[in-house]
Structure 1
Amino acid sequence: MKAPSARIALASAAIGAVGLAGCDSPSDTTAAPSTGTDPIAVCPSGAPAPGAKPVELAGAAGRAAVIAPTKDSAPRVTVETPYRVDASHATTTQPGSGAELTENSVVTVCYQGVNGRTGRVFDDAFSRATSAEVALPDMIAGFRTALVGQRSGATVVASVTAADAYPKGEPRAGIEPGDTLIYAITVLAAN
């Protein structure tokens, strides 16, 4: 979650937030709560509404369906494994109206990361009900690219190739070389 010299607040220290870390820093994957002046926002943990329409993600192998998070509910990701994409891509499910995110933005997000090979959640701010503050320059390329150009308030679903995440894998999170990652992200704030 962080560059070697800068801690990025992503979640509680008990959970390794490896899905968002820079590829060059797999040895430090824990994160501390946000230290900004604003209180940490609560990520919703409720179930999606019955009948909520998922975003369908077709891969080079497998498929995934993501019910995007809302202000009242956490995402639900269902994966036909193994799911793999050849190019990272993002879908905006809810546009934002706040500040535009740049390569250098620091953002407050609620997010869930799912491994496309296994269909398992490897990191989840929604289940912890705690947002994370992250600096986009310190994030894996696929996560950063999915958010740059979005506006605060946006909800994004992204499929991220291993090359844009962890080309060598991240064993502590169960991520092997070649694994595609799926993210459901809500941008709460940006500066």
Structure 2
Amino acid sequence: MTPVNIRRVVLPVAVASLTIGLAACGSDSGSDSAASSSTSAASPSCPSAAPAADAKPDWTLRGTTGSVDVVASTSTTAPAVTVTTPFAVEQTQVHTLREGSGEVVPDTATVSVCYVGVDGRDGKTFDSSYSGGTPVQFPLDRVVVGFKKAIAGQKVGSSVAVAMNPEDGYPNGNPAAGINKGDSLVFELTIVSVDG
């Protein structure tokens, strides 16, 4: 399956158009004047190589329906997110896959991350900076609640998984990303850097 680069689809709508424009705290409304996501020329790349076929999950979560297995990214491999569909959670769940050694991310920071997003309803990847090879930078006050919950308080360098309930993601869906109303979302991300 080929991931859809949603950042290109929704970029005018969201400031940090990370993964389908996770901006506006889950709101479907946005602003055409929002700034685009940016990365520094000196930014490290997001690895795109697949993990080993026999890699064991670093996190397994049983949802109210379905389940998810997440193999964390490494410095040389992208993560793997495998979903038994339909996957749904009532409460957002955050799991630190690998703790970094950098500074703690404040909840008002601007961060640079490598990430992949998967829809729990159908198990499809809807966006991935790993496939593009470049981290995405965005302020935490401009992303949906579930993404902020996954990052704020973590250390730079950490790899984190989050299973996000619809209320912390897109309560009304995001048609441009193929996300329906009521879909739970799963992300694996690595915090590359923090500013402020």
TM-score range relative to shorter protein? 0.7 to 0.9
User: Given the alignment, which residue of 96, 101, 108 partners 1:104?
Assistant: 108
In 2, the alpha carbon distance for the partners of 1:92 and 1:187 equals: 11
Listed as ranges, the matches of 1:1-191 within 5 Å are 7-8=15-16, 10=18, 17-18=19-20, 20-22=22-24, 23-27=26-30, 32=36, 34=38, 36=40, 39-54=42-57, 55-191=59-195
Compared with structure 1, are the counterparts of its residues 6 and 56 closer, same or farther at alpha carbon in structure 2 (3 Å cutoff)?
closer
TM-score by length of 2: 0.85
In 2, the alpha carbon distance for the partners of 1:158 and 1:27 equals: 24
RMSD: 2.6
TM-score by length of 1: 0.87
**Contact 2:97–2:159 under 8 Å retained in 1:** yes
Q: CA deviation at 1:27?
A: 4.7
Identity across aligned pairs (percent)? 38
Q: CA deviation at 1:32?
A: 4.0
After superposition, what is the alpha-carbon deviation per residue over 1:40-60, rounded to whole angstroms, capped at 9, x for unaligned?
Answer: 321000111243221211100
What count of residue pairs does the alignment treat as equivalent? 184
**Contact 2:166–2:183 under 8 Å retained in 1:** yes
**Contact 1:56–1:65 under 8 Å retained in 2:** yes
**Contact 2:14–2:35 under 8 Å retained in 1:** no
In 1, the alpha carbon distance for the partners of 2:35 and 2:172 equals: 21
Q: Larger helix proportion, structure 1 or 2?
A: 2
Identify unmatched segments of 5+ residues in structure 1.
11-16
Identify unmatched segments of 5+ residues in structure 2.
1-6
Q: CA deviation at 1:9?
A: 6.3
